[in-house]
Amino acid sequence: MNQKIKNALISLSDKENLISILKILKKYKVKIISSGGTYKSIKKLGYDCTELSKYTGFKEMLDGRVKTLHPKIHAGILHDRQNKIHKNEMNIKKFPPIDLIIVNFYPFQKVVMSTSNPKEIVDNIDIGGPTMVRAAAKNYKNVAIITNKNDYSELVKELEKYKGKTSLKFREIMSSKAFGLTAYYDAMIANWLNKKLSIEFPERKTIFGRKLKKLRYGENPHQESSIYINDYEDQKLGFIQLAGKELSYNNYNDMFASLEILDSLGKETGTVIIKHANPCGVSKNKNPIESFRNAFACDPLSAFGGVVACNFKINEKMAAEINKNFLEVILAKGFEKNSLNILKRKKNLRIIDISEYKSKNLTSIKYFEGAFLVQNKDKTILDRKKLKCVTKLKPSKKELNEIEFTFNVSKYVKSNAIVLCNNFSTIGIGAGQPSRFDSCRIAIQKAKKFQPQKMKNSIAASDAFFPFTDGVEALIKAGVKIIIQPGGSIRDQEVINCANKGKVKMLFTDIRHFNH
């Protein structure tokens, strides 16, 4: 059912491209109602408009907090044009129908990003706008609601196609968008209040997100996918793509995994290589190119087609080293001009500048059928004051730094996780095995295959306790001299005895790092 537009109410904080709407409304003799800055803008552009207070006969009050909250406005929006009782009531009151609402809200989102002043933020929580939007969206059978300036062109096409009318399908689509916006807006406000009050796990959890783009497909070609931004700055992620194919679902998944590890390295120069969301090489070194070489040497087979993340600027020499290998994505804090020219020789390589990227979200969420789990992110590494050496042999202060690095990497590896390191570089990683012993075997096999000379005097980290001595025995036999683990097994003493017998140093952290 097509609906003729006779009266439209326009209330905008963002008045960009308003002229395109005014032209089409004038063409089809639509009367416009507006107030405040929008009214002035319409008049300034040379179009007729009735001021809201004149239309309602009620002057706005409370610094503009109450202006559209009036029966003449909401009855005009909400009444059912096919309902005889509604029509009769409207005739008695002499309230005309309002057939089109064009609204955007107070810029709460923008204000939250620009100030920490609670009064200013609360003053920018819109009430009248969302109320009108919800009313119009509910009555989509009769009313068209436009909440996004990107839909102005669609409205123009609709009115041109149907000679000043809108179709039911169009109104229904716009209603869906409108309810999406009000939910998004309310979720942002609720999340701001929860953060202000330090409520991490509210009774009702609302997650807001704006679609950044539709991706070619999901994890597999038969799956559809899009990426959303869950932040008040919802226009960009802080990634600047300089070259290469479009980023895929799997690329994003690996990129975020790499950035978490990179962030944990702090200001120290480091490189992270990710494959299928698991690290297959992590190294920190004052020399950037050495950090890359060491990370890549950990598991060059797995690094094939992987994602590389560096917390430094890429120069010409580094670019030449990177180009020796097949990689999907390179992330770095800037690229020198000559380095870009080298990297761009590989047309499919996605080159991403992460200079503007900042890690903000301290919550992780996992979705299931009809439920989701929420938890704080695992930001703890270890507390040196609580670190307990349980063996006769004790580590030096220098060794403690590398022990901490190794244990830190283990928390980003899928459980069960075993990480082997030598000189602040991973040399073998065992990930995602149901058996911890199997993870030990895989880590040892990787190290022996690619860097056997570095197995001697290496450090091993386990994300959880050793339930038996078998894994520890395998590590000692391979050449490991220091083992760090949470402890907490009923067989801890057996494990400690095994370490003492093998003349290795063992430390308990009392901190587990499961990553499922």
Fold of 237-353: Cytidine Deaminase; domain 2 (3.40.140)
pLDDT class for 452, splitting at 50, 70, 90? very high
The type of residue at 217 is Y
Q: What is the pLDDT of residue 279?
A: 95
Per-residue pLDDT reduced to its tens digit, 405-444: 999 999 999 999 999 999 999 999 999 999 999 999 999 9
pLDDT class for 232, splitting at 50, 70, 90? confident
Q: What is the pLDDT of residue 502?
A: 95
Q: What is the pLDDT of residue 240?
A: 94
- pLDDT > 90? residue 397: no
Phi first, then psi: give them for residue 34, nearest 5 degrees: -160, 175
DSSP label of 394: -
Mapped to the 3 state alphabet, what secondary structure does 423-467 carry? CCEEEEEECCCCCHHHHHHHHHHHHHHHCHHHCCCEEEEECCCCC
Start-to-end C-alpha separation, the chain: 52
Q: What is the pLDDT of residue 197?
A: 93
Q: What is the pLDDT of residue 169?
A: 95
> Taken in order 288, 267, 281, 237, is the CA torsion positive or negative?
negative
Residue 358 · residue 371 · CB < 8 Å: no
Residue 467 · residue 416 · CB < 8 Å: no
Per-residue pLDDT reduced to its tens digit, 63-107: 767 777 788 888 899 898 888 898 888 788 888 999 999 998 888
Rounded to whole angstroms, the Cα distance separating 262 from 181 reads 35
Q: What is the pLDDT of residue 377?
A: 85
Q: What is the pLDDT of residue 426?
A: 97
What's the Rg (C-alpha) of the chain?
Answer: 30
Q: What is the pLDDT of residue 355?
A: 93
pTM: 0.87
By three-state DSSP, how is residue 506 classified? strand
- Exactly one of 15, 138, 177, 346 is catalytic; which is it? 138
Tell me whether the CATH fold assigned to 3-196 matches the one assigned to 388-508.
no
Residue 302 · residue 413 · CB < 8 Å: no
Per-residue pLDDT reduced to its tens digit, 455-484: 999 999 999 999 999 999 999 999 999 999
Per-residue pLDDT reduced to its tens digit, 336-395: 999 999 999 999 999 999 999 988 767 888 888 889 898 888 888 788 888 999 999 999
By three-state DSSP, how is residue 486 classified? coil
Report whether CATH 3.40.640.10 matches the domain 3-196. no
Residues 6+ apart with CB under 8 A from 55: 33, 72
Active site residue 276: yes
Per-residue pLDDT reduced to its tens digit, 187-227: 999 999 999 999 989 999 998 999 999 999 999 999 999 99
Which among 194, 139, 186, 187 is positioned nearest to 166, based on CA atoms? Answer: 139
Per-residue pLDDT reduced to its tens digit, 281-301: 999 999 999 999 999 999 999
Q: What ranges do the domains of the chain cover?
A: 3-196, 237-353, 388-508
- Exactly one of 165, 245, 276, 344 is catalytic; which is it? 276
Q: What is the pLDDT of residue 71?
A: 86
Q: What is the pLDDT of residue 462?
A: 96
- pLDDT > 90? residue 275: yes
Active site residue 275: no
Per-residue pLDDT reduced to its tens digit, 140-198: 999 999 999 999 999 999 999 999 989 999 999 999 999 999 999 999 999 999 999 99
Rounded to whole angstroms, the Cα distance separating 176 from 483 reads 56
What would the CATH number be for the domain defined by 388-508?
3.40.140.20
